[in-house]
Amino acid sequence: MIPTRVSNGRSRARPGRLLAAAAILGVAGLIGCGGSGDGEAAGTAGDTATRGQDSAARTSSIERSAAGLRVTTLRVGGHEVTVEVAERDAERQQGLMGRDSLPEDNGMLFVYSRPQTLSFWMRNTEIPLDIAYISQDGVIVDIQQMDPHTQEQHPSREPAMYALEMNQGWFEEHGVTVGDRVQF
């Protein structure tokens, strides 16, 4: 249900840079040291992640979705969302492809090693999505709607280090616009 990703031919991340990006992203939150990973993972029916876990339980393991991706909670323009984190090439290329739904207030965050022009498409993606391109410092620099089963490219208007996919209409329904902040 996620578009096939294309990032101007330079999507291969070096491990050191990925770690730097993870630090910026606040990956500590992914393992329970600050952010929560509570909630159902995007596009995963029957995920055993539960709300209300105590922080000691969250720190003992990294929460993962049924697809094997890390799961965390972000604040987007003040609204809490649960996201799967795609930070490796294979994870970004697969994205939400092949899924037929995305739970409300859930999405997928794509993490890149450096700011760059990113471009996504929707081939083999079943559901309509919105994509927000986010700068290195967490500011939304572009939001676009993407229709399923198209090969139309959706390049970011400015360099971005992150891309956040949500159900189509989510950003508008929640009053989130370009210039709003994402808290990792």
What pTM was estimated for this model as a whole?
0.69
Mean pLDDT, all residues of the chain: 76
Residue scoring higher pLDDT (59 or 80): 80
Pairing mode, strands 119-120 and 5-6: antiparallel
pLDDT tens for 11-28 read 333 334 433 444 334 433
Q: In the numeric block, which tokens belong to residue 176?
A: 């989130």
Distance, in Å, from the CA atom of 73 to the CA atom of 85, rounded to the nearest integer, reads 10
5-183, superfamily in CATH? Protein of unknown function DUF192 (2.60.120.1140)
Q: What is the pLDDT of residue 66?
A: 86
